[in-house]
Amino acid sequence: MKFVIKLHAWYKKNRRDLPWRQTRDPYKIWISEVILQQTRIDQGLNYYLRFIETFPDVASLAAASEEQVLKCWQGLGYYSRARNLHAAARHVAGHSGGRFPDSYEGLLKLKGVGNYTAAAISSICYGEARAVVDGNVSRVIARLYGIEEAVNGTAGKKLVAALADELLDRADPGTHNQALMEFGALHCVPHAPDCTGCPFEEECEARITGQVDQLPVKIQGRKPVDRWMYFYIYVCNGEIVLTRRNEQDIWKSLYQFPVVDATTPLTDLQIMKAPGQLATGTTIRKISPEVRHQLTHRTIHARFIHAELERWPDPLPSGWITVSGQRLNGYPVPQLIHRYMESINFSYL
């Protein structure tokens, strides 16, 4: 039997009923695809539902502030996705007369839409014959064809893309793409897949040559770099200070407490001396123990310094925003900060 026939039979039987599979609205497919970039369905599902409820169409997303969009995204990570989504929505609403791109080429021009996402939207919504290649697809193809080239290297990517295109069911590319990804996610899983129950047992090169647990080959990334961050929670008359992260760095455009960054740990004395310009009238109430926060490429060692001021310095240091407790709730913050504030039962955030 042909691969495509078997794949579709498998998909029909095993497909999960997911919210974005009940629509062909390109806006909703777009949102779902961006949320699911490097993100598991279990993790992204509730974010998708909340996002669509908050911003049901391009116009509502374009009309929102970037902060509102980031707040909806808080905790999901890779925040440039949210900023790009917002910018792209404004572009569509403003320059394209509200018309969403209706082709692969047009979609590619949107910020944050690359190869994968353009192929996904154009195939699912418009029936365009574009094969998607995500982590699932590259794994399935690497095993099926016994590809020993690294699938995240240039040559490997090119090879996988060509094979994915060759395999594509041009009669129904949208279903085919979703079926192949679903097969990778549920059956041809990274660790210890159930090959005896696999519909492609006979034609899978990795299965035949006993390489299933060696494939796909990947070039491995670097180890996380340690980084120490000291957040100063300045409180004065029911207000608190926030700053906005603007550098090309983690958590860009999210809010935080004034921070001291270091590549080695600071001593308690250095921590106490850090808020130099506030010396008069500043009382350090507490320095938290180290909070460890693991990112893909950084290990963050954070401490939170609770300090009380008699009055705000005049003028306020540049970049400082004083916010009343109640309004703090509206500012998007990194998960590390959110979690710490919850852990100390801080009632505002």
Partner DNA sequence: AAATCGGGGTC
Partner DNA sequence: GACCCAGATTT
Q: Write out the two tokens for 182.
A: 């679903």
Report in angstroms how near the CB of residue 238 gets to DNA at its nearest: 27
Q: Write out the two tokens for 149.
A: 């080239």
Could you say which residues in the range 295-314 bind DNA, by CB under 7 A? Answer: 295-298
Member of 120, 147, 240, 305 binding DNA (CB under 7 A): 120
Window of 57-65, 108-116, 232-240, 318-326 that interacts with DNA by CB under 7 A = 108-116
Could you say which residues in the range 231-270 bind DNA, by CB under 7 A? Answer: 248-252
E-state strands within the chain:
225-236, 239-244, 255-256, 259-262, 282-287, 291-294, 298-309, 321-324
Return the number of the residue (216 or 275) whose C-beta is nearest DNA: 216
Rounded to whole angstroms, the Cα distance separating 58 from 222 reads 38
Q: With helix as H, strand as E and coil as C, how does 197-227 read?
A: HCCCCCCCHHHHHCCHHHCCCCCCCCCCEEE
Rounded to whole angstroms, the Cα distance separating 186 from 164 reads 19
Could you say which residues in the range 20-49 bind DNA, by CB under 7 A? Answer: 20-21, 32-33, 36-43
Q: Write out the two tokens for 132.
A: 């998607």
Return the number of the residue (248 or 263) whose C-beta is nearest DNA: 248
- Residue 10 binds DNA, judged by CB under 7 A: no
CA angle (43 as vertex; 8, 169 as ends), nearest 5: 20
- Residue 118 binds DNA, judged by CB under 7 A: yes
Window of 63-71, 159-167, 261-269, 293-301 that interacts with DNA by CB under 7 A = 293-301
* Alpha-helical regions (H) of 55-169: 58-63, 66-73, 80-95, 104-108, 115-126, 135-144, 154-167
Window of 95-103, 262-270, 312-320, 329-337 that interacts with DNA by CB under 7 A = 329-337
Return the number of the residue (190 or 317) whose C-beta is nearest DNA: 190
Report in angstroms how near the CB of residue 221 gets to DNA at its nearest: 6
Return the number of the residue (218 or 327) whose C-beta is nearest DNA: 218
Using DSSP bridges, classify how beta strands 298-309 and 225-236 pair: parallel, antiparallel or unpaired: parallel
Q: Write out the two tokens for 189.
A: 């899983």
Residue with tokens 């997911």: 18
Rounded to whole angstroms, the Cα distance separating 14 from 119 reads 23
Helix 26-35, helix 80-95: angle, nearest 10: 160
Report in angstroms how near the CB of residue 281 gets to DNA at its nearest: 33
- Residue 114 binds DNA, judged by CB under 7 A: yes
Report in angstroms how near the CB of residue 236 gets to DNA at its nearest: 27
Fill in the per-residue mask, 151 to 190: x = in contact with DNA (CB under 7 A), - = not in contact.
--xx-----------------------x--xx-xx----x
User: Catalytic: 33?
Assistant: yes
What residue type is assigned to position 308 of the chain? E
Residue with tokens 């099926």: 144
**Active site (catalytic) residues:** 33
Residues near DNA, by CB under 7 A: 18, 20-21, 32-33, 36-43, 75-80, 84, 111-118, 120, 134-136, 139, 153-154, 178, 181-182, 184-185, 190-191, 216, 218-223, 248-252, 293-298, 334-336
